[in-house]
């Protein structure tokens, strides 16, 4: 997931976009046509996609928050005010309320 749609200064709803079903289908097709040498790698990829597909939206948003914090070099406590500031620096369109809500979800979802 490269971004979360719907967050800006006027709106605080989150729309999580997931493509795991499309990727899983493509991997199943590739597995059906795979040579014995290709199968182990494709099987591992399919397992990773299935594990990602099983993640609920709160976990996906928490992952997104952590990735955005990492993108701006934040290494401190995710529950801190500095984390909210870093998240808003990473995503300037986030309102303070949205940033705090996302931070709380990330804190509630351990890595």
CA-CA distance, 3 to 70, in Å (whole number)? Answer: 14
Q: Which long-range contacts (CB under 8 A, 24 or more apart) does 9-15 make?
A: 9/93, 9/95, 10/95, 12/95, 12/97, 12/98, 12/101, 14/57, 14/61, 14/102
Residue 59: the pLDDT is: 85
Position 7 pLDDT exceeds 80: no
Rounded Cα distance, 108 and 37, in Å: 41
- The model's pLDDT over 16-29, given as tens digits with 9 standing for 90+, comes to 666 778 888 899 99
| Structure-block tokens of residue 38 | 């290709």
> What whole-number percentage of the chain has pLDDT above 70?
84
Q: What is the pLDDT of residue 110?
A: 84
What are the pLDDT digits (tens) for 42-77? 999 998 888 877 777 888 889 899 999 999 999 999
Query: What's this model's pTM, rounded to 2 decimal places?
Result: 0.63
């Amino acid at each position: 997931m490269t971004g979360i749609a719907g967050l800006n200064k006027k709106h605080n709803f989150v729309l999580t976009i997931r493509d795991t079903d499309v990727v899983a289908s493509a991997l199943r097709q590739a597995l059906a046509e795979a040579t014995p040498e290709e199968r182990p790698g494709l099987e591992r990829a399919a397992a990773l996609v299935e594990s990602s597909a099983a993640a609920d939206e709160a976990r996906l948003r928490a992952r997104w928050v952590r990735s955005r914090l990492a993108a701006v070099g934040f290494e401190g406590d995710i529950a801190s005010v500095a984390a909210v500031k870093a998240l808003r620096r990473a995503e300037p369109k986030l309102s303070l309320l949205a940033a705090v809500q996302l931070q709380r979800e990330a804190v509630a979802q351990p890595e």
